[in-house]
Structure 1
Amino acid sequence: MLKQDSADVVVIGGGLGGCMASLAAAKMGLRVIMTEETDWLGGQLTSQAVPPDEHKWIEKYGCTGTFREFRNRVREYYRANYPLTKEARENEILNPGNGWVSRLAHEPKVALKVIEDMLAPYMNSGRIKVLYNFKAAEAKTEEDAVKSVTVTHNSGAQSIELIGQYFLDATECGDVLPIAGVEYVSGAESMNETGEPHALEKADPIDMQSFTYVFAVDYIEGGNFTIDKPEQYDFWRDYMPSFSHLPLFSWYATDADDTTKLKQFTLFPNDEGIPSLFTYRRILDTENLDSDLYEGDISLINWAQNDYSLGPIYGVPQEEIDKNLFSAKQQSLSLLYWLQTEAPRLDGGKGYPGLRLRKDVLDTEDGLAKYPYIRESRRIKAVYTITEKDVSKEIRGDQGICEYFDSVGVGSYHLDLHHTTVSKRSFYIPNYPYEIPLGALLPIRVKNLLPACKNIGTTQITNGCYRLHPTEWNIGESAGYLAAYALKNNITPHQVRQEEKHLQEYQNLLVKNGIQLHWPEDIDL
């Protein structure tokens, strides 16, 4: 007989959105069951190994109170536990890795510890129950409601039917949507559907953004840590992407300022002013330490060179999914081997054998992240769909920030679209700071399932900015409070938006709990 478990709210997915949805619901007194495909909570920051991508105002405003708490706790963790220099310890905006992609580039294990600490009172009391290494397998529905979601252990040895009043899909790929019959979109929409100038003329549901298997390395001068030659190395070394006249494995990649051009990079800082990719996502800078605790700086390798764009990992047969996951791992390992053996150095030599794969940093046998970095999810067909006209600075012109009457949060990031699987498009469109409309969290039909990750009502193009860490965090947190508010008031989330009294009370609840609904009027754009 199939084992069953129940809670007020069932959250499928333990990434940033899932953790914050669970925390919000638990704070409201509800019992929560959260599942996670790996043995690490935290998604993008931990199992996917991506330091926080943030906007330029992040130290002052533009995120939820709990995200700010997380950032403060990360810095305090280093101050409390690491032998920092006096200068680093006294730096209010300490950046542990001094990576230039983020103001808070830090180790995934530190993010994991901080997230676990934030959840600890609710997990230890039993308010939040976490099922590790489980993924969604099937769902039962009745009319416009989800009745249960069955999750299966990665080993295949156990399945559990989870019963709840609300279900939040916080998976990285929107995995609950198809099994629960929730209307959704995947891949690229057409210009006719969205009215977006950068959309395709014809929709293509498998034209999805590339994903990446991140890995961690340090560098030991004079060392030789060359890995065994990967099985697909010859293919990836010679691979010439359609969007470039140079091999993918080169020191040239798409220029974010003009995606029709290439920009030169190199590995380490230099006197020639060529940007260093090692310091891009460096998560531990030994210059911050007053000891030789670490043998060298540590960097996470998540570059254009290991973005996998040859095929998707959902919406296609399992055989193709398995092939693409394997090839993506081979691409990342091949990049490492190329860096160690053949990458041109500025001094005229080749290869950096002192690069050492740090399997311990990500706690895996192959040295790759526990889970691929997913940039694009299935997206609900929503009551309100956010399009390019809501966010693009060029389109909005002097209209400025798009404000919504039903805002449930804020964020900001360029409309950053990595090369897609079919059309190979890539965008980096300047944006205005944006708000998160409640309508984008409401499926057009289903009443008790909410998106809590990258699966809200965006288009493929606007997903490019709504997918980043602080925004996913905010989406999950607001979804958790929404489920709790609806339950406690015996109404549906759709009614919360439709009835002014409830919308005002729900938004007041968000503000009371540190969620910013609008950007300051005097923001320097």
Structure 2
Amino acid sequence: MKRRNFITLVSAGSGGLLLTAPVKSSALANANKKNKVSPGGLSADVIIAGGGMGGCATALAACRNGLSVIMTEETDWIGGQLSQQGVPPDEHSWIETHGAPSSYRDFRNRVRAYYKRNYPLTEGARNRENLNPGDGSVSRLCHEPKVAVAVLLEMLHPYMSSGKLVLLTEHKIYRADVTGDMVKFVEATNLKNNQKVVLEAPYFVDATECGDLLPLTNTEYVTGTESKKQTGELHAPEKGNPKNNQAFTLCFAMDYQPGVNNIIDRPEDYSFWSNYVPEMTPPWAGKLLDLNYSNPRTLEPKELGFHPEGVRTGSVLNLWNYRRIINKNNFAPGIYDGDITIVNWPQNDYFLGDIIDVSEKEFKKHIEASRQLSLSLFYWLQTEAPRPDGGLGWPGLRLRGDVMGTNDGMAKYPYIRESRRIKAEFTILEEHVGAENRKLVAGEEAGKKAAGFYDSVGTGYYHIDLHPSSQGDNYIDFGSLPFQIPLGALLPQRMNNLLPANKNIGTTHITNGCYRLHPVEWSIGEAVGSLIAFARKKKTLPRAVRENRNLLEEFQGWIRSQGLETHWPG
């Protein structure tokens, strides 16, 4: 990117952070004139839509390898599911040493260093190598969303300062100009003032949460469930349904003040949600707002516990501890009055409507309904949840909007589990990664390992975890095997300069259930950013890197030298 002429931007929501970007090209000038947008058209080597885990990793890899990047994000926080969606990381048990790129472990180490540098920790917490600020049971590193934002900005800031990276928060891409198999430019809108800007680049990356660039660019994609006839997968249904997507969740943060009455106004839809019994196949365990749910593995009723002071609740899981992001006992006395926890539970999964490929009005309707569900769950916890002493409700529970960066305590954006998915050069099936299906196709001994991919560009692991769906499927949850990320799953069948970097890669509805987690998103994004840089260097297309075995092996060796993992040890 030539840097002889610059304009200066202050990105909305960036807290006054000064960003620089090149003046528009003549092509952008013509596009701006034609579409009546602002004169501030921008160009770079790569345009990334979406500042989540995959988007940030793409930007880091591209900038590290000399490319200029413009990244848009429709909220005012980068970090995706880790920050704006309020979901502490779901990770595998080997994450501290392998199974993700070294840059992801660097991010995790920086989070711990941030707490040790800035927070008054107890001596024991400060000396703990693998500090877990919240000691939440879901992860070895449960922490505040704002810390994720701060650390990611810290990692990106050298490139922002040098002008290699422009970050446009509170911007969303609504239009794309496409000629044949190539995206020419996209048009983003500032969501605060409706000002539009045209963005031009040789490469575009869809790192949005729902795969929003795919329909805008006419990139072929699939949604929902495939049939058993289509994929041959063991757990696929007999009949596919493109509208059958996993539940999404509007998470929230809360703490507890004993003896204080923090009861909120009764939510508008509380009567509906407090009596709602999900209509599922197989059946749900009872009412949605209750301390039981369908066991994901067996679908039998499973009892849960809740106590906001973190005490044991018999032999059942205390939900308070599950996604706890602050354990007050890790900090100096008096810093925190109590713990802080994130609510992303079965009880606030929203599955009464689909938000993929619907109108904006329909999208907003379901997001508001999910807000009412989460508010109703919180009100139920305050007023009706059973206590160990036989009473009902915990009035001292308090919504923590400051933790989530919102006024109402809800997350800035819903936690999206399933996106549009590209029709890829290679699609990852259950037989490649599912433990049971793998043995059926590969045999007992070979089936102990996931399929090996000659074009692997990353690794990951999570069990196949499908939450209840918008068309009435109950949980689908079963074992998988430590897997690889094949380059073919990152390549659209036709488009040459648009790549996916989130949950929108070439998986099925089934395999999306283990490729949708935090470190896997990061691994996908870093592979995509590296692929673009390598293809530019070799003056070829990304798909050609996969088609030429010598080029592919050179690329794999190159990314391994930069800390990406292509194989599991052993």
What TM-score results when the alignment is normalised by the length of structure 1? 0.98
Choose the corresponding residue for 2:414, options 372, 378, 402. 372
* Matched ranges for 1:353-432 at <5 A: 353-397=395-439, 398-399=445-446, 400-432=449-481
Displacement of 1:280: 0.3
Equivalent position SS for 1:279: helix
Runs of at least 4 residues off by over 3 Å: none
Equivalent position SS for 1:124: helix
Q: What residue number does 1:325 align with? A: 367
Q: Deviations over 1:296-355 (max 9, x none)?
A: 100000000000000111212333222111100000000000000011112110001111
Q: What residue number does 2:28 align with? A: none
The alignment status of 1:263 with 2:294, answered yes or no, reads: no
Q: Which moved more, 1:233-242 or 1:501-510?
A: 501-510
- Cα separation, 1, equivalents of 2:87 and 2:530: 26
- Cα separation, 1, equivalents of 2:140 and 2:152: 18
Q: What residue number does 1:231 align with? A: 268
Contact 2:430/2:438, CA 8 A, preserved across alignment: no
- Cα separation, 2, equivalents of 1:42 and 1:163: 24
Equivalent position SS for 2:44: strand
Equivalent position SS for 1:428: strand
Contact 2:324/2:340, CA 8 A, preserved across alignment: yes
Equivalent position SS for 2:552: helix
Q: What residue number does 2:562 align with? A: 513
- Cα separation, 1, equivalents of 2:61 and 2:518: 17
- Cα separation, 2, equivalents of 1:156 and 1:445: 36
Q: What residue number does 2:184 align with? A: 147
Contact 1:95/1:103, CA 8 A, preserved across alignment: yes
The alignment status of 1:434 with 2:483, answered yes or no, reads: yes
Q: What residue number does 1:101 align with? A: 138
Q: What residue number does 1:465 align with? A: 514
Q: Deviations over 1:445-476 (max 9, x none)?
A: 00100001110000011001100000000000
Choose the corresponding residue for 1:90, options 127, 138, 147. 127
Choose the corresponding residue for 1:252, options 286, 292, 313. 292
- Cα separation, 2, equivalents of 1:63 and 1:255: 29
Q: What residue number does 2:14 align with? A: none
- Cα separation, 1, equivalents of 2:378 and 2:131: 29
- Cα separation, 2, equivalents of 1:53 and 1:224: 33
Displacement of 1:270: 2.5
Q: What residue number does 2:540 align with? A: 491
The alignment status of 1:344 with 2:386, answered yes or no, reads: yes
- Cα separation, 2, equivalents of 1:331 and 1:437: 38
Equivalent position SS for 1:152: strand
Displacement of 1:156: 5.6
Equivalent position SS for 1:322: helix
Contact 1:51/1:102, CA 8 A, preserved across alignment: yes
Contact 1:83/1:291, CA 8 A, preserved across alignment: no
Q: Which moved more, 1:3-12 or 1:410-419?
A: 3-12
The alignment status of 1:314 with 2:363, answered yes or no, reads: no
| AA matched with 1:284 | I
| AA matched with 2:356 | Y
The alignment status of 1:27 with 2:64, answered yes or no, reads: yes
Q: Deviations over 1:348-402 (max 9, x none)?
A: 1000111110110011011100110000000000000001111111122332122
Q: Which moved more, 1:58-67 or 1:299-308?
A: 58-67
Q: What residue number does 2:163 align with? A: 126
Equivalent position SS for 1:479: helix
The alignment status of 1:446 with 2:495, answered yes or no, reads: yes
Measured at CA, do residues 271 and 14 of structure 1 come closer, stay the same or move farther in structure 2, by a change above 3 Å?
closer
Equivalent position SS for 1:461: coil
Q: What residue number does 1:218 align with? A: 255
- Cα separation, 1, equivalents of 2:49 and 2:467: 26
Work out the number of aligned pairs and report it: 520
What TM-score results when the alignment is normalised by the length of structure 2? 0.90
Q: Which moved more, 1:283-292 or 1:462-471?
A: 283-292
Q: Deviations over 1:131-176 (max 9, x none)?
A: 1111110111111111111111223621111110000000000000
Contact 2:285/2:293, CA 8 A, preserved across alignment: no
Displacement of 1:98: 0.5
Equivalent position SS for 1:365: coil
Contact 1:408/1:438, CA 8 A, preserved across alignment: yes
- Cα separation, 2, equivalents of 1:484 and 1:448: 12
Q: Deviations over 1:265-306 (max 9, x none)?
A: 111232522210010000000111122111110000000000
Contact 2:296/2:475, CA 8 A, preserved across alignment: no
Displacement of 1:245: 4.2
Measured at CA, do residues 450 and 72 of structure 1 come closer, stay the same or move farther in structure 2, by a change above 3 Å?
same
